[in-house]
Amino acid sequence: MTLSLLNSQVQAFAAEFSQVVATKLEHARELSREGKTDDAYKEISELQSNKTWAMIENPLRAQILRFQASIVLNNEKNIGKAKDLRDQAAQLDPTGDDVALRAIIRYFAEGKEAALRELPAPANINTFNLKLGFLIESGRADDALALLNQLPVGIEADAETLRLHALLLLLKGDQAGALEKVENASEQKPHWLSVRHAYGIVNYFTAISLAAWPKGIISRPSPVPWALVKRDHQSQQRLKEAESLFAQLAAEARDRQEQADGFNLWRLACLANDVDRQEEAADFCRRRLAVTPADSHTLAWALSRNYDVDLQSMEESLERVLGVDQGDDGD
């Protein structure tokens, strides 16, 4: 009887402790959604290194491992490590839902179409959003719209669904619809990195003529002729708001160089299309080229706006980056 009582008490404690851990896991997930992936990884790593790891219920430990695998994929592109974590999770919880993780692994290993084959019938909002995102990235806008129009029973759209819907409407040329969806997403989750990024992109394109709107995946802003830039107060104000947002995102991503460079390019595009801030745009462009002389996208904006940049110095810097012998006469 004593052993039975102790055993029941241990089980009760383990269940209560697992609830605490589940809260920590959700907090780590929220950190990841806000773009603080290093902090999220640190939190879940601490859970695993703690002596109480073995006391956590197996299904919850499996969730932690799957979440860790997703961070490894996004941050390190380490497919082998992600698969190993997936297998460890499967041993702990053989019947656990790992559809989303399998799809993400196949995305990194084989591409979008292979990932889509893992998602024939999404059973929850996470896998639904994944399928929607893969369809958009594959250029299958009509299929994505059809999917949005038939949300499975029991699944409700969240901020990520609204964000993806906004980008999809942007591709379809629906300015009002894109603005509405991204604003709704921002109202729900104003701190999510993906939502903030999309909010800046949509606001940027509302200041650009429809003729210059993207027809495919939106990875970076290309130079736009002045004739296709809207000059009215509202459009220019949206550019200013987008520039401020991208500046903040770039500052937050300073330890993730590739991501920061992407945000800075969007910031430059906003400045370059702001009729009142051309001197500031030219200065920012020169500073960016001084840091990254091999950045052809920034150079394209400099040339399209005729900014006064030192092309000779930039050429020399570029040659140094590429390892070209400046004494070589080309013969």
pLDDT digits (tens), the chain, 331 positions: 444 544 444 455 456 667 889 999 999 999 999 999 999 999 999 988 888 888 888 999 999 999 999 999 998 899 999 999 999 999 999 999 999 999 999 999 999 999 999 999 999 999 999 999 999 999 899 999 999 988 888 899 999 999 999 999 999 999 999 999 999 999 999 999 999 999 999 999 999 999 988 888 788 999 999 999 999 999 999 999 999 999 999 999 988 889 999 999 999 999 999 999 999 999 999 999 888 887 889 999 999 999 987 666 666 666 666 666 655 554 4
CB proximity list for 32: less than 8 A, separation 6 or greater = 40, 67, 71
CA atoms of 25 and 34, how far apart (whole Å): 14
CA distance readout (Å), 54 to 18, 49, 60, 166, 284:
11, 10, 11, 43, 53
Quick one: pLDDT at residue 3?
46
Quick one: pLDDT at residue 160?
97
Quick one: pLDDT at residue 27?
95
CA atoms of 53 and 6, how far apart (whole Å): 20
CA torsion sign, 25 to 27 to 33 to 38? negative
Contact criterion met (CB below 8 Å) for 272 and 302: no
Long-range pairs, 256-264, Cβ under 8 A, ≥24: 261/292, 261/295, 262/220, 263/197, 264/288
Environment class of residue 73 by beta-carbon count within 10 Å: exposed (0-12), middle (13-18) or buried (19+)?
buried
Secondary structure of residue 302 in the 3-state scheme: helix
Q: Which of 22, 59, 28, 66 is nearest to 44 (CA)?
A: 28
Q: Which amino acid is at 25?
A: L
**pTM of the predicted model, to two decimals?**
0.88
Quick one: pLDDT at residue 51?
81
Domains of the chain: 10-96 (1.25.40)
Q: What is the CB-side half-sphere exposure of residue 302 using CA atoms within 13 A?
A: 20
CA atoms of 5 and 64, how far apart (whole Å): 30
Q: Which amino acid is at 46?
A: E
The values of phi and psi at residue 326, to 5°, are: -70, -15
